[in-house]
């Protein structure tokens, strides 16, 4: 809208079997929204998500979206009572309309020394992409459990600070089999919208996001085969197919590559 000076507004929702019909006063557009994930969510998880959204929204002025990283789950039990709601509210209130920010949740990493020989940091979890850099900075072999991290900070400086701290802690472990706990943060994205009221949580149960790569082409083929003919026969000036996925960062999305596999001209 800002780039082209044109803004479409929804006229009908749903529009026949499609999601919506929109108009900018001159041209009409049909929009269909589909998800790459299994659209069915466990009822208990969905119910608790709505409960959490309502609790966070109480007394919160403005409209907000909290984005769950792939594999992350909405806190329950002691985490819920331990201030998660308040943390989200504080992060939300710091944002201006249209602004995006970070929700930093404290987590624990576990580091264990497995051998005196070598120079290797074996990593599972959110810090796995950084194993090679950490391996170059340690003496001995170590196992790092970073499964509590689903998304690292966008700040490269803060990432390097964490990596440096982990490597420094590794040098303090003298005996094989010994381990230590390292404090870190799991960084979620929170966004303030320009209009509306309340907070919504966008995400999926961890079991639905365990493997986001292998099924993309199969799901795309199903979506295009189902939505394509209906969009083509909608009778509007423009058509748009919006495909929803869940990724840590936008540059990790693999839908564009899969679509070009169907049609290299895209």
Tell me: do 132 and 183 sit in the same domain: yes
Q: What's the pLDDT at 266?
A: 46
Average pLDDT, the chain: 87
Assess contact for 33 and 242: CB atoms under 8 A.
yes
- Residue ranges making up the domain that contains 116: 105-187
129-136's contacts with Cβ under 8 Å and 24+ in sequence apart are 130/159, 130/163, 133/163, 134/163, 134/166, 134/167
Tell me: do 129 and 162 sit in the same domain: yes
* Pairing state between β 28-35 and 20-23: antiparallel
pLDDT surpassing 90 at residue 29: yes
Sequence-distant (≥ 6) Cβ neighbours of residue 225 within 8 angstroms: none
Tell me: do 173 and 124 sit in the same domain: yes
Tell me: do 94 and 110 sit in the same domain: no
pLDDT surpassing 60 at residue 82: no
Q: Give kind and range of the element (H or E) at residue 138.
A: none
Minimum mean pLDDT among 72-86, 136-150, 226-240: which range?
72-86
Tell me: do 17 and 71 sit in the same domain: no
Q: What's the pLDDT at 145?
A: 98
202 in a domain, yes or no? Answer: yes
Tell me: do 143 and 247 sit in the same domain: no
From the list 101, 152, 158, 102, the residue with the least C-alpha distance to 126 is: 152
Q: What's the pLDDT at 38?
A: 64
Q: What's the pLDDT at 211?
A: 63
2 in a domain, yes or no? Answer: no
Tell me: do 68 and 198 sit in the same domain: yes
pLDDT surpassing 60 at residue 2: no
pLDDT surpassing 90 at residue 248: no
If one counts the domains in the chain, the total is 3
Assess contact for 108 and 148: CB atoms under 8 A.
yes
Q: Which residue has the higher pLDDT, 130 or 36?
A: 130
Angle between helices 43-57 and 85-93 (to 10 degrees): 50
Sequence-distant (≥ 6) Cβ neighbours of residue 155 within 8 angstroms: none
Sequence-distant (≥ 6) Cβ neighbours of residue 101 within 8 angstroms: 91, 94, 95, 189, 190, 191, 192
Query: What tokens appear for 54 in the block?
Result: 């309502």
Q: Which residue has the higher pLDDT, 227 or 133?
A: 133
Q: What is the pTM for the complete model shown?
A: 0.77
Tell me: do 66 and 92 sit in the same domain: yes
58 in a domain, yes or no? Answer: yes
Tell me: do 89 and 197 sit in the same domain: yes
Tell me: do 94 and 197 sit in the same domain: yes
Tell me: do 166 and 122 sit in the same domain: yes
Tell me: do 30 and 150 sit in the same domain: no
14 in a domain, yes or no? Answer: yes
* Pairing state between β 198-202 and 20-23: unpaired
116 in a domain, yes or no? Answer: yes
134 in a domain, yes or no? Answer: yes
Q: What pLDDT, in 10s, does the model give residues 151-190? A: 999 899 999 999 999 999 999 999 999 999 999 999 999 9
């Amino acid at each position: 809208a800002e780039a082209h000076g044109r803004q479409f507004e929804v006229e009908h929702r749903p529009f026949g079997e499609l999601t919506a019909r929109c108009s900018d006063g001159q041209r009409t557009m049909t929009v269909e929204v589909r998800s790459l994930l299994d659209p069915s969510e466990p009822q208990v998880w969905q119910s608790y998500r709505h409960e959490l959204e309502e609790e966070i929204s109480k007394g919160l002025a403005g409209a907000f979206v909290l984005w769950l990283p792939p594999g992350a789950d909405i806190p329950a039990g002691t985490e819920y009572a331990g201030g998660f709601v308040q943390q989200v509210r504080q992060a939300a209130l710091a944002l201006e309309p249209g602004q995006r920010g970070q929700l930093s949740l404290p987590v624990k990493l576990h580091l264990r020394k497995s051998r005196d020989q070598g120079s290797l940091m074996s990593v599972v979890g959110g810090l796995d992409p950084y194993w090679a850099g950490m391996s170059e900075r340690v003496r001995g072999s170590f196992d790092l459990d970073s499964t509590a991290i689903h998304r690292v900070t966008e700040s490269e400086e803060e990432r390097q600070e964490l990596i440096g701290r982990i490597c420094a802690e590794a040098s303090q472990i003298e005996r094989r089999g010994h381990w230590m706990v390292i404090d870190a943060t799991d960084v979620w994205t929170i966004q303030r919208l320009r209009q509306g009221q309340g907070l919504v949580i966008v995400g999926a149960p961890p079991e639905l996001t365990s493997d986001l790569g292998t099924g993309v082409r199969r799901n795309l083929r199903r979506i295009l085969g189902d939505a394509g003919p209906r969009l083509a026969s909608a009778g509007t000036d423009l058509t748009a197919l919006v495909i929803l996925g869940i990724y840590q960062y936008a540059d990790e999305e693999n839908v564009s590559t899969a679509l070009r596999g169907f049609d290299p001209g895209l």
